[in-house]
Amino acid sequence: MIDRLIDPFGRTVDYLRVSVTDRCDFRCAYCMSEDMTFLPKAEVLSLEELERLCRGFIDLGVRKLRVTGGEPLVRRNVMWLFQQLGRHLDTGDLDELTLTTNGSQLSRYAADLFACGVRRINVSLDTLNADKFLAITRWGKFDRVMAGIDAAQEAGLAVKINAVALLDFNEDEFDRMIAWCGERGLDMTLIEAMPMGDVGQNRADQHLSLAEVRRNLEQTWTLQDSDYQTGGPASYVTVAETGRKLGFITPLSHNFCEACNRVRLTCTGTLFMCLGQNDAADLRAPLRASADDEVLRQAIHGAIARKPKGHDFIIDRNSTDPSVVRHMSVTGG
């Protein structure tokens, strides 16, 4: 019988998000500073170690895995990891293997991802304007991401667009993006900017309330309540005119913590039990201490026993200090 992961508040943890690298080929302004210092390669777990860690979680009842980063598809040989993880779909031990990506490498990898059992992916795209895209990602190539989305759809992957809602940047584009997603058969999620990591500007200057965005969208679109739930911070509606799902991720509100089903693993083997807290458990030491997976399983249980009830995000206009010191690219959202 599986010794499931149940936290002190009775929530079953069956969803693991794995950041396979902190590196990225973009420098999105809300995510990273321009001159990021990345982890020395020696500190990053090998793909074999990451695979063993994931297997440890699957043994303990994790049913869904999301690979993220940094940009996961820039990690060398990452398809090997997808192949290994995809085997758990074949055995029925895993329900879903998925990916969050900036889309820059999808033209190259979309078909391989499908072959590994991936069926749905999230692609981050904050604007449909190529100049603005370059401005916000600093290094990104818009046409390449568009080609990547084409390749993903051609390969049979369902694509959801993730857009961070940023004040004075893209609030005038959401109508167009919703229409575009409708035409292309894409779902979309709007994300409130979270105060994670020092990005060299006051977070209050980026913050756009999604409650306000939603009120504005309702002038143009019929947003029908949907009972679609993921156990995460998104609430979904169906856009009647397009038939597509539209999600609102409002991490600064607390209303999703009760149903939280997830933990986040970094590429150094650190487990964050809550996106909005600094507490973390080191799984690298137990992983390396013994070839016996029981040691690892005990360490995972010990970490889940520390999962907090909820997060403590605050955006303070008088301070530029982030309420969570790590950047989003450490855990991958």
φ and ψ at 121, to 5 degrees?
-135, 155
Q: How far is the CB of 75 from ligand SAM (least distance, A)?
A: 11
Question: One symbol per residue from 156 to 175: x for binding ligand SAM (CB under 6 A), - otherwise; what is it?
Answer: ------x-x-----------
Q: How far is the CB of 81 from ligand SF4 (least distance, A)?
A: 17
Binds ligand SAM (CB under 6 A): choice among 124, 261, 270, 323: 124
Helix (H, G, I), strand (E, B) or coil at 306: coil
Length of the chain: 333
Q: How far is CA 321 from CA 16, 204, 276, 310, in A?
A: 28, 11, 14, 20
| Residue 136 is a binding residue for ligand SF4 (CB under 6 A) | no
| Residue 181 is a binding residue for ligand SAM (CB under 6 A) | no
Q: Which is nearer to ligand SAM, 26 or 221 (CB)?
A: 26
- Alpha-carbon span 31 to 29, nearest angstrom: 6
Binds ligand SAM (CB under 6 A): choice among 85, 196, 265, 275: 196
Instruction: Please report which helix (H) or strand (E) contains residue 158, including its range.
Output: strand 158-165
Question: One symbol per residue from 66 to 85: x for binding ligand SF4 (CB under 6 A), - otherwise; what is it?
Answer: ---xxx--------------
* Stretch binding ligand SAM (CB under 6 A), from 7-15, 90-98, 99-107, 312-320: 99-107
Q: What, of ligand SAM, ligand SF4, none, does residue 27 touch, CB below 5 to 8 Å by kind?
A: ligand SF4
Residue at token pair 């690892």: 296
- Alpha-carbon span 266 to 302, nearest angstrom: 17
* Stretch binding ligand SF4 (CB under 6 A), from 24-32, 208-216, 249-257, 309-317: 24-32
User: Contact, 163 vs 291, CB < 8 A?
Assistant: no
Q: What, of ligand SF4, ligand SAM, none, does residue 277 touch, CB below 5 to 8 Å by kind?
A: none
Instruction: Report residue 158 CA to chain centroid gap.
Output: 16
Question: One symbol per residue from 94 to 113: x for binding ligand SF4 (CB under 6 A), - otherwise; what is it?
Answer: --------x-----------
CA atoms within 13 A on the CB side of 330: 20
Among the listed residues 61, 49, 79, 47, the one whose alpha carbon sits nearest the alpha carbon of residue 12: 61
Binds ligand SAM (CB under 6 A): choice among 5, 194, 210, 265: 194
Residue at token pair 């020092």: 198
φ and ψ at 21, to 5 degrees?
-160, 150
Residues that bind ligand SF4 (CB under 6 A): 24, 26-28, 31-32, 69-71, 102, 124, 329
